[in-house]
Structure 1
Amino acid sequence: MEASPFRGVVASLATMHGKQWALRPLLRRRLGLSLRLADVDTDVLGTFTGEVRRAGSARETVVRKARLGMAATGSPVGLASEGAFGPHPVAPWTAADVEYVALLDDRTGLTVVEHVVSVETNHGHVVTDGRDLAAVLAFLRGVGFPHHAVVVRPAAGTAQPVKGIGRLTDVLAAVRRACAESADGAAVLCADLRAHVNPTRMRVIAAAGERLARRLATPCPACAAPGFGPVGAEPGLPCRDCGTPTPRDALLIFGCDRCPYRSRRPLADAADPGSCPVCNP
């Protein structure tokens, strides 16, 4: 392995949810980078269950989270990850997990953010009045319970959710309480998306970390700074049948965080006519 500018460096990692288990081994192996856990409350930046709303995008938040860890530890190098769940950006009928991992290095002014979009997620919920046990059990099987924990909250009202539930008896008791506390007599049962109780999400975080490690091991062809990689795309891929430019991306733009150097690489030869404004108006 080529000499890494991060070999022997200790970076802060801002996490409350065990993400070091996904990131520490691969960063040490690929970059020689060690991680030091930062004692910070990352929930102040937002929670999946809505008690604290996230201000800004996941990409913006992952940089703020890394800054929290750097401030808490005094380290000039910081790492963080942040996830977002919802419709897939290309196939909106499919649920997706988008995981961002960022490394900030104040020694050199470097900020590198990578991400992975994955359909491997148990993101979902069901509303129940507690009487249809079969529906509750079917949902639990679908989200990988008990290997994946769940959250229960009242469907209407301000009562706090119960998180990290991993036993069936506790799920059923929490559903009964939530129904009793809810203004409409119903409870919401959903997958717990926090990384330490969601092995599926932890695997996606590891994949994002692997992509970040590869990028940090790639020097800029112009200035040799680490982190050369994709920074954008250009649409206009021509239709396979008529040659009309389509909204599909034609070129992937690679760039450096430290200097203006950019390069462009084609993504594909042609677009399917289904995305063509002429062939499929």
Structure 2
Amino acid sequence: MSPSLFSGRKLCIATKHEKESVIAPILENALDVNCFVPDAFDTDILGTFSGEIERKDSPIETARKKCRMAMEATGCDLAVASEGSFGSHPTLFFVPADEEFILLMDAKNNLEIIARYLSTETNFGGESVSSWEQLKAFAEKSKFPEHGLIIKNQEKDWSYLNKGIQDEKELKESFEECIQAHGSVFVETDMRAMVNPLRMEAIAKATKELTRKIALECPNCSMPGFDVVEHQSGLPCAQCSMPTKSTLQDLYRCQHCDFEEIRKFPRGKEQEDPMYCDFCNP
């Protein structure tokens, strides 16, 4: 039932940075929609990765605002938007991570479905450089020139700003121009999708996760997006039967009718190894 809910409808992809190149084929194939991108659509007003425009909202709220903006601009009642966040991995400390969120908003059916994909396959980084040799070393480890770079005078100063550099001649000229004018250079990876193939791959995987969620129908109302909203701990220890921190059950919730269902033993086991028990192995 899920694909037919969207079949034949126009789907607006709220992007400025060519994300439609990976999002459209996946959604058109899975949902039978007709994807398009709004003309002269500027998502940078909600924040830029280079920092000259601060993103004031969470990634999910930013994606939600993109969808609403696209709907207002086009009159389309079905929109999708993605938003990324970069920094340290939440559990693998000191490992950079790309956390991608993608949100489908269906105004016609009062429906919102969100998917997330977390990847360590990212070139995210930045550093101050004082020589061309330092800059070349950073560029090499950042997968330049396939992946774009940004040159600015300081990390939090945008008096000089050159984005999307994917040519060594331009990179050197920008470095020399910036250091002569300001005495300092800060280089960072350009995380915009159209100049960052690794990020584009993560967006594609987030989109596939979105289609997986859409295919999950609510047992109560048959609307799409019936998925896990909470992993609940308490799987009993095989030795002492006390609850452990491992997942006992998953809570599913419908985003449309709020129907909930608990499904036990989602990892396929009914007891946990005592080595993970705080009582047997404190």
1:88 maps to which residue? 89
1:136 maps to which residue? 135
| Residues 72 and 280 of structure 1, relative CA distance in 2, 3 Å threshold | farther
Tell me the CA shift for residue 248 of structure 1.
Answer: 4.9
The answer to whether 1:228 aligns with 2:226 is yes
Q: Secondary structure at the match of 1:78?
A: strand
1:175 maps to which residue? 175
1:196 alignment partner AA: M
1:21 alignment partner AA: S
For residues 192 and 176 of structure 1, the distance between their equivalents in structure 2, rounded to whole angstroms, comes to 19
Q: Secondary structure at the match of 1:47?
A: coil
Q: Which runs of 5+ in 2 are unaligned?
A: none
For residues 11 and 103 of structure 2, the distance between their equivalents in structure 1, rounded to whole angstroms, comes to 11
**1:31, 1:217 within 8 Å by CA — same for their partners in 2?**
no
1:37 maps to which residue? 37
**2:66, 2:81 within 8 Å by CA — same for their partners in 1?**
yes
**1:4, 1:217 within 8 Å by CA — same for their partners in 2?**
no
For residues 218 and 211 of structure 1, the distance between their equivalents in structure 2, rounded to whole angstroms, comes to 11
2:49 maps to which residue? 48
> Percent identity of the aligned residues?
35
The answer to whether 1:114 aligns with 2:99 is no
TM-score by length of 1: 0.89
Tell me the CA shift for residue 216 of structure 1.
Answer: 1.4
1:47-82 per-residue CA deviation (whole Å, 9 max, x = no partner) reads 101111111211111111111111110111111110
| Residues 249 and 2 of structure 1, relative CA distance in 2, 3 Å threshold | closer
1:99-121 per-residue CA deviation (whole Å, 9 max, x = no partner) reads 11111111110011111001111
| Residues 3 and 126 of structure 1, relative CA distance in 2, 3 Å threshold | closer
Tell me the CA shift for residue 138 of structure 1.
Answer: 2.3
1:5 maps to which residue? 5
**2:2, 2:223 within 8 Å by CA — same for their partners in 1?**
no
For residues 126 and 280 of structure 2, the distance between their equivalents in structure 1, rounded to whole angstroms, comes to 39
2:151 alignment partner AA: V
Q: Secondary structure at the match of 2:66?
A: helix
1:199-235 per-residue CA deviation (whole Å, 9 max, x = no partner) reads 1100110111111112112211111011211222223
1:18-69 per-residue CA deviation (whole Å, 9 max, x = no partner) reads 0000110011111101212123210011110111111121111111111111
Tell me the CA shift for residue 14 of structure 1.
Answer: 1.0
For residues 169 and 231 of structure 2, the distance between their equivalents in structure 1, rounded to whole angstroms, comes to 50
2:217 alignment partner AA: P
| Residues 166 and 226 of structure 1, relative CA distance in 2, 3 Å threshold | same
For residues 238 and 222 of structure 2, the distance between their equivalents in structure 1, rounded to whole angstroms, comes to 38
Q: Secondary structure at the match of 2:159?
A: coil
Tell me the CA shift for residue 237 of structure 1.
Answer: 4.6
**2:160, 2:178 within 8 Å by CA — same for their partners in 1?**
no
For residues 25 and 239 of structure 2, the distance between their equivalents in structure 1, rounded to whole angstroms, comes to 48
2:19 maps to which residue? 19
1:169 alignment partner AA: K
| Residues 16 and 2 of structure 1, relative CA distance in 2, 3 Å threshold | closer
For residues 242 and 53 of structure 1, the distance between their equivalents in structure 2, rounded to whole angstroms, comes to 52
2:152 maps to which residue? 153
For residues 135 and 276 of structure 2, the distance between their equivalents in structure 1, rounded to whole angstroms, comes to 40
**1:159, 1:181 within 8 Å by CA — same for their partners in 2?**
no
The answer to whether 1:103 aligns with 2:101 is no
For residues 60 and 238 of structure 1, the distance between their equivalents in structure 2, rounded to whole angstroms, comes to 37
Tell me the CA shift for residue 178 of structure 1.
Answer: 2.3
For residues 250 and 199 of structure 1, the distance between their equivalents in structure 2, rounded to whole angstroms, comes to 38
2:165 maps to which residue? 165
For residues 245 and 178 of structure 1, the distance between their equivalents in structure 2, rounded to whole angstroms, comes to 59
Tell me the CA shift for residue 275 of structure 1.
Answer: 6.8
| Residues 56 and 280 of structure 1, relative CA distance in 2, 3 Å threshold | farther
Tell me the CA shift for residue 264 of structure 1.
Answer: 2.8
**2:126, 2:186 within 8 Å by CA — same for their partners in 1?**
yes
**1:130, 1:176 within 8 Å by CA — same for their partners in 2?**
no
